[in-house]
Structures are given as structure tokens and as C-alpha cells.
Amino acid sequence: MLGLMQNQAMLISNLIEFAERHHGDAEIVSRRVEGDIHRSDYRTVAARARRVANGLDAWGLASGERVATLAWNGYRHLELYYGVSGSGRVLHTVNPRLHIDQLAWIVNHAEDQVLCFDLGFLPIVQAVYSRCPTVRHWVALCDADALPPNAGIPGLCSYEAWIAGQSDVYAWPSLDENTASSLCYTSGTTGNPKAALYSHRSTVLHAYAISLPDVMCLRARDAVLPVVPMFHVNAWGLPYAAAMVGCKLVFPGPALDGKSVYELMEAEQVTMAAGVPTVWQMLLGHLQAGGLRFSSLQRTVIGGAACPPAMLRSFQEDYGVEVLHAWGMTELSPVGTLCSLKQKHLALPPDAQMKIRQKQGRAVFGVDMEIVDANGQALPHDGRTAGDLLVKGPRVVAEYFKGEGGDPLVRDAKGMAWFPTGDVATICPDGFLQITDRSKDVIKSGGEWISSIELENIAVAHPAIAMAACIGVKHPKWDERPLIVAVKKPGAVVDAADLLQFYQGKTAKWQIPDDVVFVDAIPMGATGKMQKMRLRELLKDYTLPGT
């Protein structure tokens, strides 16, 4: 027997229609590439998204065809989020930090028909356009009079001129909710990049999930600043969830340095912000240097890489800002877990609470998780036993775009299909996940595993250390031993012996790194993560003392 409720599909167009009808005047504030502050609202974004949809119809784009963006966080990017997906096309957000060859590869792989870009990325477009034969329309996200006259891109048009010629009346199509909505390539460190192809259903489910009180607790009274780029897993779904709850959105554009982010937060009275640890490091550095305080910020979501405990403490204890440590993956839409305490934890002393907050958190509805051994056997959730982390759920990938890489799923004894995350983790009896490593980064010493994340966290707690990566290096007796590669804070004085001494009493003796190498910078990937593969290559001739 079927239920007798209205069978209305969950569509991305419903989100913007809802925001327009019920939160039409909630503000969308953007620091533009042009440098100024632009103010819009959901009513205006909705109307302009309909113009985008009409514009794509006029160009004859079929349902399911891909429209790429190469853009910072801003109102025009938001209009494309809704106009492209809402009208049945697929939004492909391209990461401008990719190498030009990789960028050309993914535009061709996605067979993008239209590419919309911020003017600041014109040099990238000029370098790549002749290698992208599928792209029929190049759109610069600017006013008509800002369009450079001799850009050398055939048929280049300005976004404002393009949508000005379109009607803002448009009936969003009644799509099947499983229709593809957006495409996101993973940062993939090996082989060709693979893409998650989200659906309207998975996107709306994710928006509900992240809005929950124990997740990001999004409300109409919030002013949300996604520092995480809209080209990195849809800014963790915030552009959709914000429309669902009708909160103010504040977009930082290209200005991601500590000073610019701080000034925008204060000017727009931001209550919640989300980003990777590296951007928060810059923000905290700016606050500390200037003796500044936050006047409105209540909470910050930190994810994409492990949040160092020192950062968590600083936000909470120095600035009274609650840190929500989150773990996720492109393949999960992306949020998988988020760390918020349970009622029974509230009576614990602050240090015990802090220990829990350092974990990546509890599963969010829509992502189930399990840890298994090398034979696929489930391991105990005792907070100590580490295993390969598997996930499943309606917003987890079933396969990659165009079947790239074959069937990614593994089956358990009951035949349930799970996605292997490639992460190694523990789960405690209260359900809190703690990522100890990427499986390829784990250090195997004498048959035991050492968590590189734990050793990195200790290093960055040292007052002289700005950043640290821990990698395994070959050892004749133990197979591998941990090596810390560290960047000093400007002007700080510290040597390897000081840092190694700092580990005493903070971890088991046999896990203390064997050596420290100081470098000027650690190579960072396009999504703000340390590139340990490159680091291993750079240090391939390094040998541990005494070996």
C-alpha cells in the first residue's frame, strides 16, 4: 500500500522558490572580484536565476548538459547554482587552483558546453580555451562594459549582457528528483580525477541534514559566511541550505586573507562561518596580531582536513567561538560527521569536553558508517581499534561520472553496498568518529600503526611551529618511522631536538617521530590540503639519522 501524501519531487528549484516567497528580502552580500561590496537578496537572485535558465534555453542547451563555472563565492555564482540546475542542466564547478592540464582534462571529460568565469581567471581561460572544443559559449561574470575588448576568446560575452536580454519569467521544469544536478571532481591524488554526480534529491537531502541543530544549526536569524569555495563540493552545501532556512549569506569573493575575512565578518555581523583549517589559521593570526575580538561570530565549522586541537582551543577559549569539527568527502555531498556534544557530556570538565570536540564527530542522518579490518570484518566501536572506514546512504556516490574507475563499492556479508572512504578511523561507543589517517598516509612501524594526524597535531601545538606534516620514511628494522616536516612561525627559533623533546609525555614513546626536517613551505593541493605525496617525492633521498 502506498502512502497518500503529495508526490512532489525534491528539487533545487524548490529551494530558491521557497526562499523567494518566504525570505525574499534576506540579504546576499558579496565582496566582488571588482573589490566593492555588492548587496542582493533571495528575491533578486531568484529572478536572475530565471534569466539564466531562459538564456540556456535560448542557446539550445539540452537537459543534462553541463555548464561549468570557474568562479569565487559570490551572488552571480549563486544565480548559476539555481539557474543551471533548476532548469535541468548540470552545474560543473571547476577548481581554478588546478593545474592548467588538469583543468583542460576535466572540462573535456565533463564535455562542458558553457563556461562562466570570473574576470580574474581570464588568463586561465586564455591558456585553456583552444583545448576545450566542447565549450560553445564563454561567459565572463562581469558587466558589459568591463569585458576586455581584445580577450582573444571567440564569442566571449558578459554575464550581465547575456541575462539582461532574457525574461525573468520562467516555469521551472518538474524534473524527476533523481535528475543529475551538479558535478564535482575529487582532488584525487592518483590517476585521473573522478567526479561525483549529485542529484536534486541528494542535494536537498544534504541541505536538510546540515541544517539540523546538531549539525550546523542553521536558522533564518543567521548570517552565514562560506569561506569554503563554491568550487569545493558546493561550499559544503551551504548555498542550498541557506535558501532552505532563509538566512543571510555573505560571500568573501577572492579575498580570503585573515584581514579581509575578519573585516567582512564584522561589517556583516556574521554568526557562522565554514572553512578549512588553513584559512582559519590566517584569520586567527590576524586577530592575535591586532588584539582583535569577534563581535558577532558564534560558531565555525572546520573541516576538509583535521582541525588542530590548538586551533580549536584558541577559537573556544580565546574568542568564545564554538568550533564544529566536521569530516566529509566529495563523494558524500560532502558532510559525513560533525562534532557536537551529547547531553551526558555537558557535565564533564572542560578538558574532557575538549578531548571529544577534537574528534570528527557523529554520523549525520543520511550517512551510515562502519570500520572494518583487512578482511572486511566489522571492528569494535571502542574508540581504540582503528580500521578502514566505510559509508553508505542516499547521498553517497554509487558510482563515478561515466563509470570512471569501475564499481567503487564493496559488499558486506549481508550484501549491503558500502563506499570505502580510504580513511582510517576509530569509532567510540558514543558514536564519535576519529580519523587517524588516510589509509595511504598511515605509518606502519614494526607492524603497528602510527597516526600521522596525531603527531602533526602535537607539532602545531608547539608555539614556534606554523604548520607540520608527518610522513613515514623507510627504516631497516621497523619498516617505517615517522618524520615531521615543519614550517616555523616567522622569526621563531626552534630546532629538531626542541621539537622532539616537546613530544615527551604527549604520545607513546615508540610513536615519537625519529627526526624533524624544517622547510619554508609545505606543498598544498587545490583544496587546501597538504600534499603528502609531493612531500614524499621531495624527500625521497632523505635518510633517518643512524640508518
Active site residues per annotation: 186, 331, 444, 449
Q: Which residues make beta-bridge pairs with 91?
A: 67, 182
44 binds ligand AMP, rule: CB under 6 A: no
Instruction: Give the separation between CA 63 and CA 78, rounded to whole angstroms.
Output: 20
Shortest distance (Å) from residue 132 CB to ligand AMP: 23
Q: Which three cell numbers stand for residue 484?
A: 615531521
432-438 and 180-185 strand pairing: unpaired
Signed CA dihedral, 232, 238, 244, 248: sign only:
negative
327 binds ligand AMP, rule: CB under 6 A: yes
Who's near 184: CB < 8 A, 6+ residues apart? 92, 93, 195, 196, 198, 233, 234, 330
The whole-angstrom distance between residue 240's C-alpha and the CA centroid of its chain comes to 14
421 binds ligand AMP, rule: CB under 6 A: yes
Shortest distance (Å) from residue 302 CB to ligand AMP: 7
Q: Is 269 left (phi over 0), alpha (psi -120 to 50) or beta?
A: left
| 335-394 positions binding ligand AMP, by CB under 6 A | 360
Shortest distance (Å) from residue 441 CB to ligand AMP: 8
Shortest distance (Å) from residue 320 CB to ligand AMP: 22
Shortest distance (Å) from residue 276 CB to ligand AMP: 8
186 binds ligand AMP, rule: CB under 6 A: yes
Instruction: Give the separation between CA 382 and CA 427, rounded to whole angstroms.
Output: 6
527 binds ligand AMP, rule: CB under 6 A: yes
423 binds ligand AMP, rule: CB under 6 A: yes
Interface region with ligand AMP, contact rule CB under 6 A, candidates 216-224, 242-250, 417-425, 458-466? 417-425
Say how many residues make up the chain. Answer: 547
Q: Which is nearer to ligand AMP, 18 or 449 (CB)?
A: 449
Shortest distance (Å) from residue 72 CB to ligand AMP: 18
Count residues contacting ligand AMP (CB under 6 A)?
21
203 binds ligand AMP, rule: CB under 6 A: no
Give the three-class secondary structure for 113.
coil
Indicate which single residue of 83, 254, 334, 393 sits in contact with ligand AMP (rule: CB under 6 A). Answer: 334
187 binds ligand AMP, rule: CB under 6 A: yes
61 binds ligand AMP, rule: CB under 6 A: no
Instruction: Give the separation between CA 225 and CA 304, rounded to whole angstroms.
Output: 16
Indicate which single residue of 73, 113, 181, 330 sits in contact with ligand AMP (rule: CB under 6 A). Answer: 330
Q: Which is nearer to ligand AMP, 199 or 434 (CB)?
A: 434
Instruction: Give the separation between CA 374 and CA 1, rounded to whole angstroms.
Output: 42
Grid coordinates 582534462 are at which residue? Answer: 105
Interface region with ligand AMP, contact rule CB under 6 A, candidates 40-48, 370-378, 392-400, 420-428? 420-428
Measured in degrees and rounded to the nearest 5, phi and psi for residue 362 equal -95, 155
Hey, which bits of 168-213 come out as E strands? 180-185, 195-199
Shortest distance (Å) from residue 140 CB to ligand AMP: 28
The whole-angstrom distance between residue 195's C-alpha and the CA centroid of its chain comes to 14
How many helices (H) and strands (E) the chain has is answered by 17, 26
Q: Which is nearer to ligand AMP, 113 or 333 (CB)?
A: 333
The answer to whether the CB of 255 falls within 8 A of the CB of 261 is: yes
| 219-248 positions binding ligand AMP, by CB under 6 A | 233
Residue 512 DSSP symbol: S
Indicate which single residue of 216, 305, 425, 467 sits in contact with ligand AMP (rule: CB under 6 A). Answer: 305
Q: Which is nearer to ligand AMP, 13 or 234 (CB)?
A: 234
**Nearest-CB residue to ligand AMP?**
330
223-226 and 272-275 strand pairing: parallel
Residue 285 DSSP symbol: H
Residues that bind ligand AMP (CB under 6 A): 186-187, 233, 303-306, 325-330, 334, 360, 421-423, 435, 438, 527
